[in-house]
Chains A and B, each alone.
Chain A
């Protein structure tokens, strides 16, 4: 298990290889479907004019994301009424839905860690080589356990996206994950898919 303090350094990123278990400590930001679409439409492709607090939020999250990690997570949060937020359950969501956006979002914000589950595709893998960055796989469904590594909620942006979709700025201690896509073009997911395709073909032929 390698302990990593956020933000990353390029050296640390390049030293990580597929299969390495890591424990993250520091500040990261949650962001999933609505956030990625909002980032792409409003700031990257600019097909939508910034509205409301968009520009203010952009300036606030830029330094938080630079060199750090975005976490694909829609948490269960208590203390919503009093704003004494506490993460009750906070496992990863399926990352592949962000595949159309993730690479460009990584480049724009210089995000070096993408944390989620299920892995991502060729566009994200290319961005991991370029930025450089890694994809860190957390255990899907292990929500109570992972929530215990979230020591503090520092801030929330875009609360109007809804609790699961908001940008939660969190402090984590020993957040567990495994590198499944590295900065050298390797992906565990490609490997497993190729192997399982061969087995499937044999199984289909055997009737």
Chain B
């Protein structure tokens, strides 16, 4: 089996320091929505300047380099144990090179391990065996500020008048955006999962965020709801950093899973504007990044 430690290290560097083009484009479009001279406009200008500077100097876009969350799709024959080891080596080296901040803290002793390694959940790695011969490694760096404002609702929710249907889903998602205010570094991106259990719903809400901004939901009911939620959220007037303004949410991605008859969960993963997600693929011995 090929050793991919160096290639994964490059994936980590790229993710931490170079914002994906679709995300950067959406920030530039957001700037056009704000009034020149307003605090919102100033915040977005600073954000865009920072994105350019981080790419140029190869320094982290945000100091909170978050939880490294890997989703790996591997062809038959790969060892997930070895892949995990290579990921851990790459993450520790990326920390040494200051692409990542040491972020892994033992919850009982309060000790920071200093190298972003910890137990089997840090870094987070999801594996799935797939057909074909392409290995795909998706990486998201998700900071604590936005992770803390994520939410999970159990429907029906009488306080919000949210029933077990897409109308109810819209209501709880808007409530989550309102609750978040500027705390999650708005303008944000929403990954929404309908159904599942409490655990799988959280997992799915993050996985939904890996769809690029151009990728529309194939289900028209959900693509319409995605657009409606983004539009409604932007009427809240929370704006960049919570300074007030027209851009609060830049995009919404919805996914759904089967559920128990008794449960109807809606889980919202809030991603900050510094939406650091990158993909590495390996096919015929060639590595590509996107």
B278 nearest CB across to chain A (Å): 17
Determine the distance from Cα of A21 to Cα of B62 in the docked complex, in whole angstroms: 22
B168 and chain A: residue at smallest CB distance: A207
B98 pairs with A77, CB closer than 8 A: yes
Most chain B CB neighbours (cut-off 10 Å) among A139, A146, A199: A139
B178 pairs with A145, CB closer than 8 A: no
A175 nearest CB across to chain B (Å): 12
Given the contacts A137-B241, A141-B61, A200-B175, A75 and B101 also touching, CB distance less than 8 Å: yes
- Residues on B with beta carbons closer than 8 Å to the beta carbon of A200: 174-175, 178, 236
Which one of A78, A90, A189, A191 contacts B63 once the chains associate, using CB atoms below 8 Å?
A90
Given the contacts A34-B110, A117-B185, A164-B112, A94 and B145 also touching, CB distance less than 8 Å: yes
Per-residue CB proximity of A88-106 to B under 8 Å, as 1/0? 1111011010000000000
B53 pairs with A91, CB closer than 8 A: no
Given the contacts A73-B63, A93-B145, A145 and B53 also touching, CB distance less than 8 Å: yes
Size category, B interface: 35 or more
Most chain A CB neighbours (cut-off 10 Å) among B114, B160, B185: B185
Secondary structure dominating the interface of A: mixed
Determine the distance from Cα of A78 to Cα of B235 in the docked complex, in whole angstroms: 42
Determine the distance from Cα of A27 to Cα of B50 in the docked complex, in whole angstroms: 23
B28 nearest CB across to chain A (Å): 16
Q: Within 8 Å of chain B (Cβ to Cβ): is A12?
A: no
Which one of A137, A192, A197, A203 contacts B244 once the chains associate, using CB atoms below 8 Å?
A192
Per-residue CB proximity of B47-83 to A under 8 Å, as 1/0? 1011001100101111111000000000000000000
Given contacts A119-B182, A144-B50, A192-B239, 8 further A-B contacts (CB under 8 A): A91-B63, A117-B241, A140-B185, A143-B63, A145-B50, A163-B102, A163-B114, A199-B236
Sorted nearest first, the 8 A-B pairs with minimum C-beta distance are: A162-B112, A89-B63, A89-B60, A140-B185, A142-B50, A145-B50, A141-B274, A143-B63
Q: Can you list 22 A-B pairs with a CB-CB distance of less than 8 A? A: A75-B63, A75-B101, A76-B100, A76-B101, A89-B62, A117-B145, A137-B241, A139-B43, A140-B145, A140-B241, A141-B143, A141-B273, A144-B50, A144-B53, A146-B50, A148-B53, A162-B102, A162-B105, A164-B101, A165-B112, A200-B175, A204-B160
Residues of chain A touching chain B, judged by Cβ–Cβ distance below 8 Å, are 19, 21, 34, 73-78, 88-91, 93-94, 96, 117-119, 137, 139-148, 161-165, 176, 178, 180, 188-189, 191-193, 195-197, 199-200, 203-204, 207
